[in-house]
Amino acid sequence: MEETGRLLSGTEIAKNLRAGLNEQVKNLKEQFPGFTPGLNIIQVGAREDSNVYIRMKMKAAEEIGIKASHVVLPSSTTQAELIRVLNKINLDPSVHGIIVQMPLDSVNKIDSTLITDSVLPSKDVDGLNTINQGKVAVGDLVSGFLPCTPNGCMELIKRTGIKIEGSQAVVIGRSKIVGTPAAELLKWHHATVTVCHSKTKNLPQLVANADILVVGIGQPNMVKGEWIKQGAVVIDCGINSISDSSKTSGYRLVGDVDFEGAKTKASWITPVPGGVGPMTVAMLMKNTVLAAEKAVSKLANTQWNLSYLPLKLSEPVPRDIDIARSQTPKNIMELAEEIGLSVADVEPYGATKAKVNIKILERLVGKPIGKYVIVCGITPTPLGEGKSTTTIGLSQAIGAHLNKNVFACVRQPSQGPTFGIKGGAAGGGYSQVIPMEEFNLHLTGDIHAITAANNLLAAQIEARMFHEATQSDKALYSRLVPKDKGTRKFSAIQLRRLTKLGINKVDPDSLTEDEIRNFVRLDIDPSTITWQRVMDTNDRFLRKIRVGLSDTEKGHERDCQFDITVASEIMAVLALTTGYTDFRARLGQMVVASSKQGVPITADDLGASGALMVLLKDAIHPNLMQTLEGTPVFVHAGPFANIAHGNSSVLADQIALRLVGSDGFVLTEAGFGADIGMEKFMHIKCRASGLKPDVVVLVATVRALKMHGGGPQVVPGNPIPAAYIEPNCELVEKGFSNLKKHIENIRKFGLQVVVAINRFTTDSEDELSLLQRLCKDNGAFDAVVCSHWVVKELQPWPKRSYLYNLEQSIEEKIEVIAKEIYGAEKIEISPAARVQIERYKSQGFNDFPICMAKTHLSLSHDPTLKGAPTGFTLPIREVRASVGAGFLYPLVGTMSTMPGLPTRPAIFDIDLNLETGNVEGLF
């Protein structure tokens, strides 16, 4: 009886593989709730054979638990169009594997190699990208993806039990899909491989020496049984259609090997169909699950592999700008990869800054968050406390020196102070955000976008009042809801206004005259307009202006003003928003005025909020930069702390907390003194984000405390008085009253305080020791001189609380802050402010938190009162509402929302070096 080779069924093996993959996917979903491996199959044209293969892949994916999508493009698709589709899918974090179904059935010429190379190597589950093919060629069979058909062949060969190492293998065919990679895989499994092709001579003799024979030549029954070595393993990758009148279809499928002849010689042989085909699909699914596991592993990995930048220390210490320029930053994409961001998460703006898409929060949703540290300061003095420097320095110390995951989150500086009196705001010395020029100037244009959006809304307010004053109801309606080809249609934002008015109609022609009047008439009371134009420049002469002076405005004049951009409510909204939907809603809810009937008028009522969202669509994403030592920094939003809430964005903090992981740290800076930035952080930002800090770092200096203790006035341009240079423990102890008050305030929120004493060379050891003792004796967990760092286990207090409940009256909440935080005896509310308060109560805004707009130079309203004044009366001149941001802000004393330039602004020192192109004089 003639011996027959055993059948090597790919169908059965593939079935077992799919079952195993199904278990792997179940485990993934259990470990990471909400996570599902994603596969995207792109097809050009509608070839029926391609449709058959795609149905097989879709069915296998469904069986395993992979979410598979099939994108069908018309046969008219061009190469450029296909690449655009691929690029979009490449950037989709929910897609882990991409297949471009071949052949491409297009009437246009498309380079298939270019297309497979356009698939991200990390998503190339076909293994056809040149990078993945190159890895196979050099023996890297782990980091990339193995091509599916050759890998399926290897799995089949292994199942036979043949010893591959040292065996003679012959591969017939050298295509990049089957033959060439199959030969490479066999080679790296230590077989001795001969590759044969159409030009090979003496093919039967070569085949006769093969212990393992892999055939993928595309010619039916080409390899004869008599060629084959007795006991060889035969893997037939061919699938060909030949005529067969006995079949209903008129044809049957055969391989490249004469099966009937070969089965008498082979020890194992794959059938056609049912051999290699099912294994190709199984290996495709295996690669997809592997891609998903890699994505999850990257997501779950809590320890970054950060490459730190060595500092180039010099004596004497150079200028800040020179230090910044002496460092070569990492490419921002390199930093992004190091901290676990994918290409899909990041949009680079050049080589040193990038936007991080907020959609990453969807991917990070189940990841534990890190330790949340807020850095704030004592009441500022002209001598400077170094709060930003401490924030960045602490970040560098935790990251580059303690090798822990750490993120610093800081505000984007306004160009007002940059060109006014403050100069740059990137930190200082060897603790800076770099490049300094990018940080301090335009960055990625967020502030400009806010300026444009704010002023568009201001323009719409004036235009709407003008048009209502000069047109009838009918004329207004015909222009607001114009006919297009004889038909009127409400826009989406107009439908929202109708709903707000209680008009449940969608047909514009069905409204009554009264309904039309209510719809078109906002009837804005000009005296109640709180929305001002803004610009990001200190310009005192814009504090009061008159608009509408042109004859074309027909006498509709109005007194108003400019604010600085960082005082815009849109800046506060950006800083407090938690996502796209929330951002859009907040923009629409912004109240710009009241009607003459006392009804709040919103950006939605003016039809502007959608346009505002478009202008701000990029600004919502945090900006990624780095410190001098290569640790990551988010720079996002820049609300002033004295005239807004003074904190960087909630989104930046949320993303950073997820990225650093449970053992990491996020340092977020609050503006000015703790009485302003930290209080607003707790009462406003934490309420918006749902987050609570673990500890507060309070920055102080010996010389600043000397000023609070009664030290002489510091005049810019003059030498620093001797009192700040020579030892004077008495002045330090007197000035400690300011620091003590801030420690007390922080403890009222149930938070531990670590005082960071920013050391200067003029500080004496006695002064530093005294200050450390006073801090510890008055409630600080520790006081650290910041020429080094310390590591201590800090147990957070179990109770963290707010100082007021939102349901308290507006007056009561203002009084709580005045008394508990500032040390006031009482408050005094002006008649104008009382009218505003009553209006906001009637409009439903009583339960908003309070954002006090007051001087940063004193705990009181009087900038000349240093230390910790008590017994004063806090004057409330005016109260405004930032409904979109979700707070009310009382203006204390003579607080201005538009700073002015000093006699000698920083612009005198700022210039562009025409030879090097470098910015000079920023710091």
Q: How confident is the model at residue 1, as a pLDDT? A: 37
Q: How confident is the model at residue 787, as a pLDDT? A: 67
Cis peptide bond upstream of 273, omega within 30? yes
- Comparing 106-110, 341-345, 372-376, 465-469, the range with the smallest average pLDDT is 341-345
Question: Alpha-carbon distance 599 to 582, whole Å?
Answer: 23
Q: What residues have CB less than 8 Å from 358, skipping those under 6 apart?
A: 579, 580, 620, 621, 622, 651, 655
**pLDDT of 628 above 50:** yes
Single out the residue of 251, 296, 300, 254 nearest to residue 274, CA to CA.
254
Which position has the token pair 């596969």?
39
Question: Alpha-carbon distance 914 to 911, whole Å?
Answer: 9
Beta carbons of 676 and 642 less than 8 angstroms apart: yes
Beta carbons of 213 and 177 less than 8 angstroms apart: no
Our separate counts of H helices and E strands in the chain read 31, 36
Question: Alpha-carbon distance 915 to 439, whole Å?
Answer: 22
The mean pLDDT of 342-354, rounded to a whole number, is 93
Q: How confident is the model at residue 788, as a pLDDT? A: 45
Residue 252 sits at φ, ψ, to 5 deg, of -140, 160
**pLDDT of 602 above 50:** yes
Which position has the token pair 């500080």?
763
Burial zone of 587 (CB within 10 Å; 0-12 exposed, 13-18 middle, 19+ buried)? buried
Facing residues of 696 across strands?
374, 753
pLDDT per residue over 708-729, tens digit each? 999 998 876 678 899 899 999 9
Structure tokens at 845: 């805004």
Structure tokens at 218: 């595309």
Return the HEC string of 195-261.
EECCCCCCHHHHHCCCCEEEECCCCCCCECHHHCCCCCEEEECCCEEEECCCCCCCEEEECCECHHH
Question: Alpha-carbon distance 568 to 646, whole Å?
Answer: 12
Q: What residues have CB less than 8 Å from 550, skipping those under 6 apart?
A: none
Beta carbons of 56 and 99 less than 8 angstroms apart: no
Q: What residues have CB less than 8 Å from 497, skipping those under 6 apart?
A: 519, 604, 605, 607
Question: Alpha-carbon distance 340 to 335, whole Å?
Answer: 9
Q: 913 vs 201, which has greater pLDDT? A: 201
Distance, C-alpha 741 to centroid of its chain: 37
867: three-class secondary structure by DSSP = coil
- Comparing 291-300, 749-758, 813-822, 914-923, the range with the smallest average pLDDT is 914-923
Question: Alpha-carbon distance 77 to 175, whole Å?
Answer: 26
190: three-class secondary structure by DSSP = coil
Structure tokens at 244: 């067969």
- State pTM to two decimals: 0.86
Q: Average model confidence (pLDDT) for the chain?
A: 92
Q: How confident is the model at residue 515, as a pLDDT? A: 96
Residue 215 sits at φ, ψ, to 5 deg, of -120, 125
Residue 205 sits at φ, ψ, to 5 deg, of -65, -40
Single out the residue of 470, 443, 429 nearest to residue 556, CA to CA.
470
**pLDDT of 369 above 60:** yes
Does domain 810-892 match CATH 3.10.410.10? yes
Q: What angle do CA 366, 367, 370 make, to 5 degrees?
A: 140
pLDDT per residue over 558-590, tens digit each? 999 999 999 999 999 999 999 999 999 999 999
Per-residue confidence band for 734, with pLDDT thresholds at 50, 70 and 90: very high
Q: What are the start-end ranges of the E strands in 35-126? A: 38-44, 67-73, 97-100
Q: What are the start-end ranges of the E strands in 351-462? A: 354-356, 371-377, 406-410, 427-428, 431-434
Question: Alpha-carbon distance 732 to 774, whole Å?
Answer: 10
In order of 208, 322, 602, 627, 632, the CA distances from 396 in angstroms are 66, 19, 44, 7, 9
Q: What residues have CB less than 8 Å from 453, skipping those under 6 apart?
A: 570, 611, 612, 615, 616
Q: How confident is the model at residue 4, as a pLDDT? A: 67
Strand pairing category for 632-635 and 623-627: antiparallel
**Helices (DSSP H) in 397-445: which residue ranges?**
415-419, 436-440
Q: Is 404 left (phi over 0), alpha (psi -120 to 50) or beta?
A: beta
Q: 703 vs 716, which has greater pLDDT? A: 703
Cis peptide bond upstream of 103, omega within 30? yes
Beta carbons of 16 and 23 less than 8 angstroms apart: no
Q: Where are the domains of the chain?
A: 6-288, 305-443+621-693, 447-615, 697-795, 810-892
**pLDDT of 42 above 90:** yes
CATH topology of domain 6-288: Rossmann fold (3.40.50)
6-288 against 305-443+621-693: fold identical: yes
Facing residues of 546 across strands?
559
Q: How confident is the model at residue 422, as a pLDDT? A: 59
Q: Is 886 left (phi over 0), alpha (psi -120 to 50) or beta?
A: left
Q: Is 244 left (phi over 0), alpha (psi -120 to 50) or beta?
A: beta
Question: Alpha-carbon distance 747 to 801, whole Å?
Answer: 10
Return the HEC string of 722-781.
HHHCCCCHHHHHHHHHHHHHHHHHHHHCCCCEEEEECCCCCCCHHHHHHHHHHHHHCCCC
Percent of the chain with pLDDT over 70: 97
Question: Alpha-carbon distance 496 to 514, whole Å?
Answer: 18
Q: How confident is the model at residue 923, as a pLDDT? A: 65
Which position has the token pair 């929302």?
897
**pLDDT of 797 above 60:** no
Beta carbons of 647 and 474 less than 8 angstroms apart: no
Q: Quickly count: other Cβ atoms within 10 Å of residue 579's Cβ.
A: 16
Which position has the token pair 């004796």?
777
278: three-class secondary structure by DSSP = helix
343: three-class secondary structure by DSSP = helix
Facing residues of 374 across strands?
668, 696
Structure tokens at 68: 């598979």
**pLDDT of 145 above 90:** yes
- Comparing 91-95, 520-524, 771-775, 807-811, the range with the smallest average pLDDT is 91-95
Per-residue confidence band for 386, with pLDDT thresholds at 50, 70 and 90: confident
Per-residue confidence band for 789, with pLDDT thresholds at 50, 70 and 90: very low
Question: Alpha-carbon distance 383 to 725, whole Å?
Answer: 12
Q: How confident is the model at residue 790, as a pLDDT? A: 46
Question: Alpha-carbon distance 138 to 125, whole Å?
Answer: 19
**Active centre residues (catalytic):** 57
Which class in CATH covers the domain with range 305-443+621-693? alpha beta
Polymer length of the chain: 923
Q: How confident is the model at residue 102, as a pLDDT? A: 92
The Cα diameter of the chain in Å comes to 114
CATH topology of domain 447-615: Domain 2, N(10)-formyltetrahydrofolate synthetase (3.30.1510)
Beta carbons of 563 and 898 less than 8 angstroms apart: yes
Residue 534 sits at φ, ψ, to 5 deg, of -135, 160
In order of 8, 127, 154, 172, 547, the CA distances from 157 in angstroms are 9, 20, 5, 16, 84
Exposure string over 544-574, b if 16+ CB within 10 A, otherwise e: eeeebeeeeeeebeeebebbbbbbbbbbbbb
| Radius of gyration (C-alpha) of the chain in whole angstroms | 35
Burial zone of 325 (CB within 10 Å; 0-12 exposed, 13-18 middle, 19+ buried)? middle
pLDDT per residue over 735-786, tens digit each? 999 999 999 999 999 999 999 999 988 999 999 999 999 999 999 999 999 8
